[in-house]
Amino acid sequence: MSLTTTLAWWGISSWVPPYIASVAAKASLPGPQWASYAGMAYTFGSIVGYASFGFLADALGRRPVTIAYMVLAWILTPVLFLWTQDLGLLLAIAFLNAIFSNGQYSWMPLWLPELYPTRMRATAMAFAFNAPRFIAFLGPFFAGNLIVSFGGFGQAATIIATVYLVGLVAVTFLPETGGKPLPR
């Protein structure tokens, strides 16, 4: 699940500002300015997603909220990159996409500590959080190659988004821990 979250972030999220800049440039608008707008919209959406995840997971359960965030991130990725060329709408979709694609990072500080006994909790969390970064750095590389191969961002982002399937399978193997005492 950590690999899914991290790989998708590096392989998709890093392309949002340049994609929106390219759409702006096609409309004869300043691409760098629109890239900064996209970065701001994405950042604000991320903050909303990070903050809301914990409250939702406490109310509805870790598994269903994590699944919902992954499914919505998966759905909103092609919506963002393929659905519209309207810049205002793209910023709104970038905001929404960030809520779920970046907000899902909050499963780690919430759910991971509840999975491991005290004697190994910090080490297990650190490993689960950081080990995927040794693989996820390949996300932008593969995404960049896909962008070149397909001649644009849309299909490349949609292909990279299929990594959410791995996370959706993985989440089914984790126990629901909400409201239960921490393992000793």
Mean pLDDT, rounded, for 48-64: 96
pLDDT in the model for residue 171: 95
pTM of the model: 0.91
Using the structure block, give the residue that is written with the tokens 């950590």: 2
Instruction: Give the model's confidence band at 133: pLDDT under 50 very low, under 70 low, under 90 confident, else very high.
Output: confident
CA 93/CA 76 separation, integer angstroms: 7
- The phi, psi pair for 67, rounded to 5°, reads -60, -45
For residues 66 and 115, the answer to whether their CB atoms sit within 8 Å is no
pLDDT in tens, 70-103: 999 999 999 999 998 999 999 999 999 999 999 9
Q: Which residues of 117-152 are buried (b: 16+ CB within 10 A; e: fewer)?
A: eeeebeeebeebbeebeeebeebbeebeebbeeeee
How would CATH label the architecture of 2-171? Up-down Bundle (1.20)
HSE value, Cβ hemisphere, 13 Å, CA-based, for 157: 25
Which tokens is 151 given? 């001649």
